[in-house]
Each structure stands twice: as structure tokens, then as C-alpha cells.
Amino acid sequence: MEINFVIAQLLAVVGWFFLIYSYYKEDIHELLRMQIIACSFETASYLVLGAYAGVFACLLDLIKAVLYYKTDKKSAIFFATLPLYIVLAVFTIQSEGPIAILPAIGGVIDGFVLTRSKTTATIGSIVASTLWVIYDFVVLAYAAAAADMVLITSNFFVLFLGYSRIQHIDRLHVIKCQYLTRHLSINILNLDKKNYPAEYLWSIDQQRNIFKLNPDSIMLIRNKKHVIGYLNYLTVTEEAYRHIKRTKHFYRDIAPEFITTMKRRHKNYLLIESICINKSYDSEKMANFISHHFRTFLRNRHKQGYNVHGIISVAISDFEQEFLKSANFAHIKDYEGGEALYELDDIAVSKYIKKN
């Protein structure tokens, strides 16, 4: 057995362990760092085997992943890197034969489906990983092939069973926050830090001051005794609602005079301030779960005579966009910072409340 073959398998196994470890990192910076290390070992493995199509495909995938994270312009990055995959296919086919086209095709599929829905992305990942498995066996990258087969199996579970790493949604329950204690504020702030950039964070004092103005406005998602997510809404004046919808710049804070309380037989307007979830539970299924409970809350309020004539929200995270789309919010506009404004007008709110 050649020493290069053994070294290549060991490098792939080390990369595999770093990849698995990355999925236990809730902080996106740590996750990306671990995956860069994993990709480096995988690239080195292909290099030792002389599988240059795999080497360059891994490097392109790494560059693409970093750009996706840094800019969040997935469609633009996909089209920008597409010519590089074509060049990769042309040059590596000449040195390795037709099999070298598989990593390039896999990279293109991966890049394309990441600009689509999560279901499409999962199916695309299965197809792309299958191409990599075929390539791995041909170039004798058996450890890499085993890792890709595990990834395929995992994605099949996600696709057909509806859960991923920790998706026991049936064990969760949603409650209204009656008292915003300091301990709970710290939990919320810790969740925020893992989901939003620093400039969007509210301090503990800001949270508690806003809650005093608009109590009973936080829906907590709990797993046993642990808070794994929350939805925070504010009842705002009609003036504030129109201003947020009209302004060209994303607001950072809501002035106290714009916050009010829900009133019976009045036109009430809501601002969904945050929809935040532990990244282990980030999925379309979770977005639908929260949407169902928020809809139930609005339905009960409506029966009590609290009429909601409009709901508005600004999506900062991918999960917030997932939630707002699942709840059929209309996309109004994008801000310069990448935030997106969504709305349910009075007719849409009525349909949303009646939806089963």
C-alpha cells in the first residue's frame, strides 16, 4: 500500500472530524472557521492523490462559501463563480479524463440550489454529494467518499423526516412572557448575539424598558426549562406604522411615544421586532411552528375584540425571512444594509388569522 494513499485517507478523516465538529458551533464565525479547516484538509487529501479536479473544486467551494457569508448576495456570487467552474471542467478533463467534470458539476449544483428554498437546497446537496462519491471512488479517496455518503444519508433524513441535528419540535411549547426577569433578558441577549450582528442588539436595560411600555409582548419557545427562541412584537401607533413603511432608512430604535397597547375595537398595528431561534432548530418546519402559534395568538385576540389592521416586520436574519415568507407576508422593499421590509395588510391579516 503506497504511503501517499494512506496519508490522503488520514487527511480526509481529519477534515471529516472538523466538518462534524463545525455543526456543533452555533456561532456562525466559529462554524465557518471549522469548515475552512475541514476544507483545507480535504483539499490536501486530493492534492496527495493527484486528483486536481477535486483540489480546485474544493478551493472554489471554499471561496464561494466565504463570499456567501460575507455578502449574502448568493445569486450574484453564483453567476460570478460559474465561469470558474467551466474553466475547471475544461482543464481538468484534459488531465484526468471525463470523470473530472463531476466535481465541477457538483459545485455548480451546490451554488445554484443555495439561492433557492431549503427543500431545493437539500435535494441539490444530495445530487452534488452523489457526484462527489462517484469521483472519490474513481480517484481512490475512500475516506472522502464515506463522508459524502454520511452527508447524503443526513440530507435524506432532513428531506423526508423533516428534522436535522436537534429537531424535536414536538417537545417544544410556546408561552407568553409575563415577567421579563434579568435572567431571562440575559438568555434573550445571548440568543440575539448568535443571530444578529452587534449593531442590531438591544442591551438588557433597553429590552426591559421596552417591555415595561408594552408588557406581554414576547412569545417564548421553550424546550423543557430552556428558552431556545422567542418572537417579540410591539403594538405601535398608526403614525409609527406608516412611518416605518414609508421611510427609506431602516430604523434602529423605536421611540417610546410610538409604542402603545392593544385596545378593543380600535385599529391596532403590530411591529414584529425579532424572531430569534437557537441555530440548532433553524428550519422551515420551525418557522411554520412559530407562525402557527403566532396565528393562534392573533385569532384569540381577535375573538376578544382586539382587531389588528396591519403587521410589519424587518427581516435581518435568514430565519426571519423564512418565518415571514411562511406566514405569507408581502415583501415591500430592501434597505441598503441588506434588511428587508415585510407586511401583512388588513386583508392579509384577516386571511392569515382564518388559515388553519
- Note the pLDDT tens digit of each residue in 111-146: 777 666 666 777 887 888 888 889 888 888 888 888
What pLDDT is stored for residue 68 in this prediction?
67
Q: Spell out a b/e string for 102-117, using b for 16 or more CB atoms within 10 Å of the CB, else e.
A: bbbbbbbbbbbbbbee
Q: In terms of Cα–Cα distance, which of 339, 348, 299 is closest to 321?
A: 339
Provide the grid cell at 103: 466535481
CB 335 within 8 A of CB 294: no
Average pLDDT score over residue span 9-33: 73
Instruction: Give the model's pLDDT for residue 234.
Output: 92
Going by pLDDT thresholds of 50, 70 and 90, the confidence category of residue 269 is: very high
Distance CA(38)–CA(19), nearest Å, equals 5
- The domain segmentation of the chain, as residue ranges, is 3-161, 169-354
For the residues 195-216, what does the mean pLDDT come to? Answer: 86
The rounded percent of the chain whose pLDDT value lies above 70 is 88
CATH of segment(s) 169-354: 3.40.630.30
Residue 163 has pLDDT above 50, yes or no: no
Question: What is residue 164's predicted lDDT score, i.e. its pLDDT?
Answer: 44
CA dist 236 and 261 (Å) reads 8
Q: Please give the backbone phi and psi of residue 182, each rounded to the nearest 5 degrees, phi first.
A: -65, -35
HEC assignment per residue over 104-117: HHHHHHHHHHCCCC
Alpha-carbon distance values, 1 to 4, 15, 173, 226 (Å): 9, 22, 56, 52
Interatomic CA distance for residues 218 and 275, integer angstroms: 10
Contact 52, 78 (CB under 8 A): no
DSSP letter for each residue of 14-50? HHHHHHHHHTT--SHHHHHHHHHHHHHHHHHHHHHHT
Distance CA 335, CA 341 (A): 8
Q: Do residues 19 and 64 make contact, with C-beta atoms less than 8 angstroms apart?
A: no
Is a pLDDT exceeding 80 seen at residue 263?
yes
pTM: predicted TM-score of the whole model, two decimal places? 0.59
Residue among 169, 154, 198, 146 at smallest CA distance from 283: 169
CB-based contacts of 198: which residues, under 8 Å, 6+ apart? none
Residues 279-338: tens digit of each pLDDT: 778 777 788 889 989 999 999 999 999 999 999 999 998 889 889 988 889 999 988 878
Tell me the mean pLDDT in the region 223-245.
88
pLDDT above 80 (res 168): no
Q: Say whether pLDDT at 28 is over 60.
A: no
**Of the candidates 205, 209, 204, the residue with the CA atom closest to the CA atom of residue 193:** 204
